[in-house]
Amino acid sequence: MENFDLKKQTPNLIVMALLVTLPLWINYVSYTQLGTQVVVMGLAAMALNFLLGYTGVLSFGHAAYFGLGAYGAAMTIRYIEPSTGLGVIVGTLAGMLAAMLIGPMIVRLRGVYFAMVTIAFGQVFYFIAFRWNTVTGGDDGLTGWKRMPLDFGFAKLDIQRDPTTFYYFVLVIFVIAVAIMGLLLRSPFGRTLIAIRENERRTRFMGINVNLHIWMSWVISCTFMALAGSMSALLNNFVDPRAFFWRQSGVFVIMCVMGGMRSFWGPMMGAAIYVWLQDYLSSATPNWQSFVGLVFVVVVLFFPRGVMGIIRRKATE
């Protein structure tokens, strides 16, 4: 890490300032829960982009790990111990473990083939959640639980009833996770991942075990995805199999592309736009799905570099 460079830190400072002050201004445009939703989906999109944008691997099955995080958290709180902290930990580890096991089967594959296999593996969890209804609640989802207040012994934090407190809880988790990903990407390890994205053959002939590095990147990405999933379960006090569904994986990818895959904060911006747009559309029209589909088409045809790509191009002109 270089010394503190104000110019390089400007985007980070802007994003942080916006997020920290969000509860103060959000009520003029929307409501706090939607802000929390943006942060959760932003974490998910940035986790996916670790693999998609920085390692160059086309994963279309990330909803599975999001869902594992969500179910892991929900089922822990419902069945094992009504503790938010434990739920988050179990959910995240569940996603990590699944990624570690599935990883070796897919790291040899590339391109659309990788995409197809990841999406197919993702569906396994959808069916488990769907079929195993005595435990998961099946199609109706898992209810009968709530996120619990945090108890640190010396202090209690009521994230259960106060949405603003819960928002800050999610934000703290978000900042820690994003900081870890950011530091990893600036490390020598992160640079080998970018090298793989840039030119796999060259990287291989530098002595890098490409498949192993892709596996590591995959596990890191899926782990943070699961963390985001567990946050999402806490936010809604509810999970259902749709968290796993393959359509959701595509939504995470479009968030990355819409915001800008080559920019660190791009996916966050994409998530913000998507969450807000979906919220608006689903209240405005019963055919909101068509409009979401239209967003996909328009982004692909006209804004393939995303918002950050456009900003960057304007800046260099």
Contact residues for another protein, defined by CB under 8 A: 1, 52, 58, 60, 104-106, 108-113, 115-117, 119-121, 123-124, 127-128, 131-132, 183-184, 187-189, 191-192, 194-195, 198-199, 201-210, 213, 246-247, 250, 253-254, 257, 262, 287, 289-290, 292-297, 299-301, 304
With respect to another protein, which residue has the nearer C-beta, 145 or 215?
215
Q: How far is the CB of 267 from another protein (least distance, A)?
A: 14
Antiparallel, parallel or unpaired: β 156-157 and 150-151: antiparallel
- Cα separation, 90 vs 76, whole angstroms: 7
Q: How far is the CB of 263 from another protein (least distance, A)?
A: 13
Q: How far is the CB of 171 from another protein (least distance, A)?
A: 24
| Own/partner pairs, 84-87, CB within 8 angstroms, 24+ separation | 84/147, 84/148, 84/149, 84/150, 84/159, 84/234, 85/150, 87/147, 87/230, 87/233, 87/234
- Cα separation, 151 vs 171, whole angstroms: 18
With respect to another protein, which residue has the nearer C-beta, 86 or 277?
277
- Give, for 201, the enclosing helix (H) or strand (E): helix 200-204
Q: How far is the CB of 235 from another protein (least distance, A)?
A: 24
Q: How far is the CB of 48 from another protein (least distance, A)?
A: 12
With respect to another protein, which residue has the nearer C-beta, 108 or 161?
108
With respect to another protein, which residue has the nearer C-beta, 169 or 218?
218
Report the first-to-last Cα separation within the chain, whole angstroms.
29
Classified as helix, coil or strand, 292 is helix
With respect to another protein, which residue has the nearer C-beta, 118 or 230?
118
